[in-house]
Structure formats: structure tokens, C-alpha cells
């Protein structure tokens, strides 16, 4: 009997060096019970879905798990289909700082950039 070997599955979302560095900063000052940082897409805003990044203290079996140099990054299992092929970055300038997303699944966004639709 031949045992099939599986090639590693690529992550659903690509993190830039800036996003990984920000995750490391967040984990360095995380609450003691935090095991990582998690991206989810709750229903919110004018277009229906929003990006939300929060500390997580418990992993779900359905979450995508991405190892980064600064800690574990999770993508909510219920959000993964909305995020496949996306790129997440951390942008900071004189006026704004935050995670940004290039999401090929988003068909539209609200005018303020708070939410998106698929």
C-alpha cells in the first residue's frame, strides 16, 4: 500500500512583513491568556461585512492557523471563504494607522471603507 504525501497547503491569506511586525508588537503586549491574534469578518457597516482583528485566547478547530515570527495569526473558520487569496498589510502614516486588506473576493465596499460585500 502506498501512502500519499500531501504538499503543504498555502495559507488562505498572505501577510506582509508590516503585518507580521504589527502582530509581533500586539503579541508582545497581549493579555496573559492570549494565544494569538484573530481576523474575523462580522456583519457590520453599510456593505455587510467588516474586518475585525482581536486577541484570541482559544483556538477553534475550524480556524485557519498561520505561524508568524511574532506569534500565531488565526483566520476565523466562518470568514475563511471571504478571505482566500487576500493580502493583509499594516499601514501607518501621519494621519492613520491600521491593517489594510486587498481582497479579491470583495465585490464592493462602502464609501467610508468600513465594510465590504462579497
Which phi-psi region, left, alpha or beta, contains residue 113 (left: φ > 0; alpha: ψ -120 to 50)? Answer: left
pLDDT in tens, 9-30: 667 889 999 999 999 999 999 9
Model pLDDT for residues 25-71, shown as the tens digit of each residue: 999 999 999 999 999 888 766 657 888 899 999 989 999 999 999 89
First to last CA, the chain: 44
Amino acid at each position: 500500500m502506498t501512502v500519499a504525501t500531501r504538499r503543504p497547503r498555502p495559507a488562505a491569506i498572505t501577510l506582509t512583513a508590516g503585518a507580521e511586525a504589527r502582530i509581533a508588537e500586539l503579541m508582545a503586549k497581549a493579555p496573559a491568556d492570549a494565544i494569538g491574534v484573530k481576523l474575523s469578518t462580522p456583519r457590520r457597516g453599510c456593505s455587510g461585512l467588516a474586518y475585525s482583528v482581536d486577541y484570541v485566547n482559544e483556538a477553534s478547530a475550524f480556524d485557519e492557523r498561520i505561524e508568524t515570527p511574532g506569534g500565531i495569526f488565526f483566520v476565523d473558520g466562518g470568514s475563511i471563504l471571504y478571505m482566500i487569496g487576500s493580502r493583509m498589510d499594516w499601514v501607518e502614516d501621519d494621519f492613520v494607522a491600521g491593517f489594510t486588506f486587498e481582497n479579491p473576493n470583495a465585490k464592493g465596499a462602502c464609501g467610508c471603507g468600513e465594510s465590504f460585500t462579497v
